[in-house]
Structure 1
Amino acid sequence: MRNDKHGLYKMLEDGYEGCGGFLDGSYLTQHPREDAGKYGMRRELAYYLNYLAPCVNAHVAPIFKTLAVRDWSGAGSELWETFSKDVDFLGTSIQNLMKQAACSAKLQGVAYIVMDKAQGDAEDMRVADLEADRNNLPYAFVVNLNAVKEICQDKLGRITKFVFMEPDAYQEQTMATRTLTAEGWELIDSKGKHSGTWNLGRVPVVPLVSKVRNSHNPFPPSEFLSIAKTNLAIYNMCSWLADILVNQTFSVLCYPSSDPDSINIGTNNALGYPPESSHAPAFIAPPDGPATVLAAQIATLQQEIYRMAVVVNVTGSSKQQSGQAKAWDYEATNQILSDFADLVEAAEENLARLFSIWTGVPLEYSVNYPNDFKISEVEQELANAEIAKGLNFGDEFNMEVFKRVLTSYLPELKVDDFDALVKTYEEHLEQEKLDYSHAFGDNGGGDDDDDGQAGAAD
C-alpha cells in the first residue's frame, strides 16, 4: 500500500511542534471577501495555542517517567548491553528510542523502527569480533512516517516490503530511496542503484501501533486527528478574534465640529458632528458580540479537546466533577496508558529478537514498563513493598519487588546505577542464604552434640 497521507502527517507534525503552517500562518483560512494585504497582515499577527502536544505527551510521558525493568540472558547479553546504550551511533539509549517511537505512534497512529547494519559488514561474524567494535553491531532508528513511500503486507499483516526515503549520502538536498525485503535491500541514490542480500528471514522493521486494531492497515488513522483538526479551528478563531481586537478595541471620540468632513476617522483622531446638535462629546465603540462569541467558542473547543484526549492531568483540563466522575476519568486514563505500555513492551521485545537474528547470537529478553499510573505516595509504595516481602515468596519475587521500589523511589536512576543496585541486592540475598544456612547448620549440629552428651551421661 502506498502512503497517500503525506499532507495529513505533515499537519500532525506541525501541530505537535508548532511549526510549518502554524508558524507562518499558511494554515489560516482566507475569507472570501478578504484581500491579500489584509490576509497577509493577519498571518503575521497569528499565534498558535498548542493543545495537541500536551495531550499527546500525557499519553506517553507517564509510561517513560520511570525506567523500564529489563532482563536479558544468553550468549548475546554483552552485545545487547552495548547496543542498548547506543542504538544509533548517536548515544541514544534503548529507553529513548522507544520513547521516540511511542510519541510518533501516538501522534500519527503508527511508528516504524528500522534495524539495519553498515553496508559491507559480513553477516556471519564471531562474537569476539562483534564485541570488539560497536560498528559491527546493528543500529536502529525511527523512520519519519512522512518519509515512508510504500508498505506491503501478507494476509497475516506481516511486512513483506518497506520502502522509505533517506538523505542522499552523495548529494545535499536530495533524497534517496531504500527498499527493504526479507531477502535483502536496494538503494537508489544519485550514484545509481545499489543492492545486497541477507538471510534474516524477515523484513528488519518493527511496527509500534498506538492501539490494537482489527485491520492490518499499515497507515492506520491517528487517534489524535480530531484533536489536531479542532486545534486548527481554534488557531483560525484566535486569528479572527485578534483581528477584531486590533481593529475595534480602541474607542473613537465624537465631539462637535463645524467641519466634520475634514476629519479622518480612526483611533488616533476623532469623529466630528454638527455643533448645533444637543449631543455631548463621547466615545463610541463597536459591539463586543462577535468577540464574545469567538472567545466562548474557543473555550468550549478547548474543553472538547481534553475530553477527546481523555486526559485529567493537563493544566487547563480541570472542571467541577464529583468524586465518582473523577475516579472514572482516572480509571479510563490508566487503562489507556496500560494498554499502550503493553504495546511498547511487545515492540521492544520484537526488536530484541531482530537483534538476535542480525547478530546470530541467542538472546533471551524481557521488558516491563509501568502499567499502573494511579497517583500514589512513595511512602505507600514502600509500605506495600514491605508487606509483599513479608509474604516470603522467594528470592525471585523479592527481586521483582526491589526493582519496583527502585523505579518508584528513584525514578531518575540511570541504567548503570540501576543495574549496580540490582547486582548488590542479588549479592545481599545470596549472603542472607549463606548466613541462614550456616546458622541452621550450627544449630542442628549443636542439638546433635547435646543429645549425644546427654546419652553418654545416661
Structure 2
Amino acid sequence: MAIARNSDQFLLDAYTGQGGFITGAYLVQHHSESSEAFARRQALAVYPNFVRKIVDVYLGLLWRQAPSRDAGEAYAAFAVNADGAGHNLDYLLASYQRLAMLLGTVYVIVDKPITPSATRADEKPPYIAHRLPAHLVRSSVDSSGVWFSVTFSEMSDGAAVYRTFTRTGWVLSEDAAGTRIIAQGEHGLGRVPVVALHSAYPINPTDKRAMSWVFDLVQLNWSLYNMESGLNALFRDQEFSVFAMPVSDGTERERLQQEGLVLGTQNGLLYDPANGGEPKFIAPPDGPVKQHMEKNAATVQDLYRIANLEFVGGVQQSGVALSFHFQEANSALSTMADLCEQAEREIAQLVHAWQGQVFEGHIAYPRDFNLTDVAQALTLAMDAVSLSLSPRFDRELKKRLVKQILGSDTAPDVLAAIDAEIDADGDVYGDRVAQAAGSAGP
C-alpha cells in the first residue's frame, strides 16, 4: 500500500509519533524481505521523533516572551477566555501555530454566540475556534484574494454538516452546496469572519494555504525511521555468532543432531583435531551495521541543518558558520512571529466588529529571539581569544557565552558544572571558539 507522505495525517503523525509510525504501517518492505520478517520488523519499529523536538524548540522560542498588547479592556477580557472554554489567547494561538507549522495553515473562526439579550452589554463576548485544512470544503475569493465565502465541514450528532460564512452572514446546512439549510443568520461584519494563520508566507500572496514548514523535516525523519528499523533488524539478525563445528561424516552429524548438541559455560565439547578442523564461532561482518550507523548519523545532522539548528546538533563549526545559522533561525522565527501578529490583528478587528467597535489598539510580537545576541557574543569571544586578553577575562567571557547559548531553561547545577569546567580549563565551548578564531587567521 502506498504511503501518502504529503497528506495532512502523515504530517500530524510525524509530530505525535502515532498512526503508521507506531503500527509500522509507514515502514517500507525490502524487496527481498519475507512477509513474516517484515511483520516482525513492524512490531519492533521505534520512531526517533526529531520533528516534535525541532517544532517544540521553535515554538518555545516564539512564545518565551508574550506579545505586547494595548487594545483596551474589552479585548483584554476576551484574551483571558478566548475560546469561551477557559483557555487564554496566548495558549490558543501557540497551539494553532504548532498546527500551522505542521500543516502550513490553520483557519481561525471568530464567532459570537447567538443569545437573546436586551442590550449589547448583556450579549456574550466573541470567541475563536479553529479548523484544519482538511475541514475546508470550498471557498471563493475576489481578485485581491479576499474571501467572498468559506465553507467548513464539522460533525453534529455523528453526522457531517457544513457551515458557510459569507461577508454578510452564515448558513448551516446538511450539504456542502447549502441547499438543505438547518439554520442561518446575518452578522453584518462586512467580511468573512475567518482568519488564516500561516507558518510561512504562501508562494502566491493571495493563497489561503501555505506549505507545511516541517515538510522536508518530516520526509527526512521518515527516512531515518526506516533506516533505524533496518539497523535494528541487522542487530537482531547478527546479534549472535554462528557456531561451526567440523564433522568427519554424515553419520556423526546425524548423531549430534539427535543428541541435541547444547553448548554453554557449564559443559564442554570434545573433538578430534585429526579428523577435522577446530570448532569456532563465525561472526557476521560489521560493514553493513557501520554503514547504517554512519548514514543515520548523517541524516540526523541533515535534520538539524534544514531547521537551521546546527548549534543544537553537536557538530563543531566556526563562529562564522554559527552566526549564519543563528541568523537563519532568527529569520524563520521572525517570519512566524510576523504572521501570527498579522493573524491576531485580524482577530482583534473581528472581535471589535462583533461588538460594534473599531479596533484602534496595538499588537506587537517579539522579533528578536536572542540568537543575534549569541552570534555577536561569539564574535566578541573570538576577538577576545585572538587578542590574548587576560585568562580571567577569557573565562568570564566564556561563562557569559554559555549562559546565552543554553538560556534560562538549563538547570542551575548544569550551568554551575560548566562554570567549574571553564575554571579548570576543561571548557569544550571555549575550545570550540578558540579553534574557530584560530582557523579564521589574521
TM-score with structure 1 setting the length: 0.71
Give the equivalent residue in structure 1 for 2:346: 350
In structure 2, what is the equivalent of residue 110 of structure 1?
Answer: 105
Contact 2:217 2:303 in 1 (8 A): yes
Residues 308-360 of structure 1: CA distance to partner in whole angstroms, max 9, x if unpaired? 1112454xx12111111111211221122122212211111110001111111
Could you say if the C-alpha distance between residues 206 and 96 of structure 1 is closer, same or farther in structure 2, counting changes exceeding 3 Å? same
Q: 1:192 to 1:353 in 2, by over 3 A?
A: closer
2:23 is aligned to 24
Please give the alpha-carbon distance, in whole angstroms, between the structure 1 residues aligned to 2:54 and 2:294.
Answer: 21
How do 1:90-239 and structure 2 match up within 5 A? 90-118=85-113, 120-121=114-115, 126-130=119-123, 136-168=124-156, 170-171=157-158, 174-189=159-174, 193-215=182-204, 216-239=206-229
| CA gap 1:274/1:300 in 2 versus in 1, 3 angstroms | farther
CA distance in 1, matches of 2:322, 2:28: 38
Aligned to 1:324: 320
DSSP 3-state at the match of 1:149: strand
Q: Is the 8 A contact 1:349 1:365 kept in 2?
A: no
Provide, for residues 110-140 of structure 1, a one-character-per-residue CA deviation record: whole Å limited to 9, x for no partner. 121111122x436x9734213xxxxx11210
Identity fraction in percent: 31
Question: How is 1:293-372 mapped onto 2 (pairs within 5 angstroms)?
Answer: 293-312=291-310, 314=312, 317-372=313-368
C-alpha distance in structure 1 between counterparts of 2:213 and 2:233, whole Å: 32
d(CA) in 1 for partners of 2:188, 2:238: 70
Map Cα deviations across residues 278-298 of structure 1 (whole Å, 9 max, x no partner). Answer: 422211122122222111111
CA gap 1:125/1:68 in 2 versus in 1, 3 angstroms: farther
| Secondary structure class of the residue paired with 2:350 | helix
CA distance in 2, matches of 1:194, 1:300: 57
Contact 1:87–1:93 (8 Å) recurs in 2: yes
Q: Against the structure 1 CA distance between its residues 257 and 202, is the aligned structure 2 distance closer, same or farther, given a 3 Å change threshold? A: same
The equivalent of 2:284 in structure 1 is 286
Measure the CA separation in 2 of the matches of 1:137 and 1:236: 50
Q: Could you tell me how far apart the structure 1 residues matched to 2:332 and 2:316 are?
A: 23
Counterparts of 1:268 and 1:57, CA distance in 2: 52
Superposed, 1:368-407 pairs within 5 Å as 368-374=364-370
Pairing 1:69–2:68 present: yes
How far the C-alpha of 1:203 sits from its partner, in A, is 0.9
Higher relative contact order, structure no. (Cα contacts within 8 Å, ≥ 6 residues apart): 1
The count of corresponding residues between Structure 1 and Structure 2 is: 359
Cα distance in 2, alignment partners of residues 139 and 272 from structure 1: 83
The one-letter code of the counterpart of 2:280 is: A
Structure 1: gaps spanning 5 or more residues: 131-135, 381-410, 413-458
Alignment RMSD: 3.1
Distance in 2 (CA, whole Å) between partners of 1:60 and 1:23 is: 24
**Counterpart residue identity of residue 364, structure 1:** E
Q: Quickly say closer, same or farther: Cα 1:167–1:7, change in 2 above 3 A.
A: farther
Opposite residue 115 of structure 2, the aligned amino acid is D
- In the TM superposition, residue 180 of structure 1 has moved relative to its aligned partner by 1.8
* Alignment-derived partner of residue 49 in structure 1: 48
Query: Aligned partners of 1:267, 1:319: CA distance in 2, in Å?
Result: 50
Give the Cα–Cα distance (whole angstroms) in 2 for the partners of residues 268 and 17 of structure 1. Answer: 46
TM-score (norm 2): 0.73
**TM-superposed deviation, 1:273:** 10
AA in 2 matched with 1:338? S
- Does structure 1 retain, via aligned residues, the 8 Å contact 2:5–2:219? no
1:37 and 2:36 matched: yes
Matched, 1:88 2:83: yes
> Unpaired runs of 5+ in structure 2?
378-407, 410-442
CA distance in 2, matches of 1:99, 1:107: 13
CA distance in structure 2 between the partners assigned to 1:16 and 1:364 by the alignment: 38
Q: Which amino acid aligns with 2:61?
A: P
User: What SS does the corresponding residue of 1:150 show, helix, strand or coil?
Assistant: strand
Tell me how far 1:214 sits from its aligned partner. Answer: 4.6
Give the C-alpha shift of residue 85 in structure 1: 0.5
